Each structure stands twice: as structure tokens, then as C-alpha cells.
Amino acid sequence: MAEPKPHAGLRLLGRLLGLAILAGAVLMGWRVTRVGFEYPRTDDAEVRANLIGIAPHVSGPLVELHVVDNQEVRQGDLLFVIDPRPYQAALDAAHADLLLARSELQAMSNAVASAVAEVQVRQLQLEQATDVVRRYEPLLKTEAIEALSVDTARTAQRTAAAQLEESRQSLMRQQNLLGQFGTLNARIAAAASAVTAAQLNVDYCRVTAPFDGRVANMNIAVGRYAEEGQPLFGLVDIRHWFVVANYRETYLDSIAVGAPVDVFLMAYPGRRFRGTVQGVGWAVQTEDQPLAGLVAEARPDLNWVRLAQRLPVRIALESPLPDAPFRMGMTAVTTIRPAAVR
């Protein structure tokens, strides 16, 4: 028995329904794409903070350790102490050198004063000898005095001039040894600088926290020999937190500096945190141009298809809540809202 053919109205209704579903799918896809560009979202993001290595300015064994791993510290808190005894001895020696320099300066000042007096005496002697020659020479013309006496006076004048020049040279040598330049004495300044440097080394033996932070990756104990400039552990700056979110380059026109951001952390499901776009990266590392350590690295998700490059967007976070502290490396999901939407 032949099956009955569908009614023409039902066929038309089916076609209209199919077209409506297709149009709805296209409209929904267009709407999702538009919303994606109006509110760029990515789950390729993580919480970060500035991290520095705590390294001493001087070398030596640790004699005191006042923190443990993951401990929160405040700016100025004492972290550890390096054995200060050799640096204290160097400071004491520098103080002694400064005292000796001052003593030598006094002796040289006395020598300069003596040389000045010697110059004054020689100057008077030259003036007297010159005066004798000036009085004898007219008498020689009238033969009122013997030529020998005049020659003797002239010899005395030349001798006095030579002695004056010698005393002046001696004064210059003493002044050079004194090392005085205006109000600054080079010897005292050098000795005082050595004291300052030695005092700095003693102060460097006590290492304090440069800012509020948390100790990270600490694996040392008292007795460890600390090398100058070599970090002993890390310190996380807990004053400023931010998220680095890698967005596709196709979203650049939708990301504005200063735009508000909704941040969701995997560690705190259902809670929303606030942030602000601080800036978009201007350089990223690519596979054909490795620049490790110089620029940010944001690799595509797949290698067998050409994808839009991802650029790091730095998002400054508002202060963390007491019951939801931030930690470096937390996984984040970010949604950037238009700058006019708050």
C-alpha cells in the first residue's frame, strides 16, 4: 500500500522551520562573535607579582637567620646577618688611618708654617742685601769705597736671592705634600672615604627587607657561606599584584589602556575580582627569533595551523581580600569590558 504524501502546508512549514533554525544559528554566531570582540575574554592568564632575589653586598658565613620560607615580612624587617667581625676590624683600621692622617696633617701644617717663615726671613735678607748694594754702588763711582766691598755686597745679594728661591721651592713641596685644595684636604678626604666604605660593609652585614613581601624558595640555614651578589632566596612584592593575560592580536582594537577587567581565579570559584588594563605588550618571543629573557613569551596553542599571535596584556589588580589572598602563578580567566562600562 503506498504511503500518503505529506501535505504541502507541512512541507512549507518544515522548510520555514529549517530556514529559521539556520538564520538563528547565523544570528547567534554573529552575536557571539560580536560579544567576543566587545568583551575580549581569555583563560590563558595567570597572577603575577614582582620578584627579586635577596643577595648580600658582602661575603661571609650567616650567623643569624630571622625568616623562614613563605614568611610574610615588612619593609625594614631583619632577614639575616653575615659575620661582621672581619668588616668591623677593617672599620677599626680605617678609623686608625684617619687619626694618623689627621696627625700627619698637623705635622705637615707645621712644616708649611715653618717654610713660610723661612721664606719671609730669606725675603728680608734679600731686601737687606739689595739695600747694601744700592748704597755701595754710588760710592764706587767716587772711589769712596773699595771695589772688593761692592763685589762682596753683590755676592751677598745673589746668595740671598738663591736662598730665597730655595726656600720658596721648599714651601711648594711642603704644600704639595699637605694635599690641600681650597677647603678640602685630599689626605683627610681619602681616609674619611675609607672609613665610610668600611662602615658600609659593616652595615651590609645586616640585610633587611626592602619592601613588604613574602619569602620564596628559601633553602638555607645558619652557617651557609653567602657570596656577594648571589641571591639566597626570593622576595615576592605583595604590594602590587597583576595578571598577565595573553590575548590574540585580533582583539587589539577592543583592548584599551585603563579599561576595567573582570578577573576570575580558579582557586576561588564563583568570586570576581577587579582589575584595570595597564598596558599591552609591544614585543613577544617567536620561534624563529628566540630572545629569551628580553621579551615576553606567548606561544600559539597549535603548531600545525597558523594562529593569531598572542600578546601579553598586563592587568593591575585591586588589593586582595583578606580571605582570598593572591599567589604568584594562580590560573586566571579575564574579561575586558569597554572603557565606558564600569
Is the pLDDT reported for residue 341 higher than 60?
A: no
Residue-level pLDDT at 169? 81
Is the pLDDT reported for residue 21 higher than 70?
A: yes
Q: What confidence category does residue 182 fall into, taking pLDDT thresholds of 50, 70 and 90?
A: low
- Apex CA 28: angle with CA 24 and CA 30, to 5°? 120
Kindly state the cell numbers that stand for 312. Answer: 601579553
What class is the 39-50+238-336 domain?
mainly beta
Q: What confidence category does residue 23 fall into, taking pLDDT thresholds of 50, 70 and 90?
A: low
Lowest mean pLDDT among 199-208, 233-242, 301-310: 301-310
Is the pLDDT reported for residue 289 higher than 60?
A: no
Distance CA 57, CA 200 (A): 9
Other CB atoms within a 10 A radius of the CB of residue 211 amount to: 16
DSSP state of 153: H
Q: Pairing relation of β-strands 284-285 and 296-297?
A: parallel
- In this prediction, residues 263-269 reach a mean pLDDT of 94
Reduced to 3 states (helix: H, G, I; strand: E, B; else coil), residue 286 is strand
- Contact 45/332 with Cβ under 8 angstroms? yes
What class is the 52-83+204-233 domain?
mainly beta
Q: C-alpha dihedral over 96, 99, 103, 109, to 10 degrees?
A: 130
Residue-level pLDDT at 55? 96
Is the pLDDT reported for residue 340 higher than 60?
A: no
CA torsion through residues 233, 64, 61, 228, sign: positive
Nearest C-alpha neighbor of 97 from the set 89, 77, 282: 89
Give the tens place of pLDDT for each residue, 109-142: 766 777 787 788 888 888 887 887 777 777 767 6
Residue-level pLDDT at 327? 94
Distance CA 223, CA 93 (A): 26
- Contact 275/315 with Cβ under 8 angstroms? yes
- In this prediction, residues 273-284 reach a mean pLDDT of 91
Alpha helix segments (H runs only) across 179-223: 186-204
Residue 241, beta-bridge partner list:
49
pTM above 0.85, yes or no: no
Reduced to 3 states (helix: H, G, I; strand: E, B; else coil), residue 165 is helix
Kindly state the cell numbers that stand for 260. Answer: 576595567
Long-range contacts of 267-270 (CB under 8 A, 24+ apart): 267/324, 267/327, 267/330, 267/331, 268/324
Domain ranges of the chain: 39-50+238-336, 52-83+204-233, 86-202
CB within 8 A of 334, min separation 6: which ones? 41, 42, 45, 243, 245, 261, 262, 263, 264, 275, 313, 315
CA torsion through residues 110, 111, 115, 116, sign: negative
Residue-level pLDDT at 162? 85
Give the tens place of pLDDT for each residue, 223-251: 999 999 999 999 999 999 999 999 998 88
- Contact 101/120 with Cβ under 8 angstroms? no
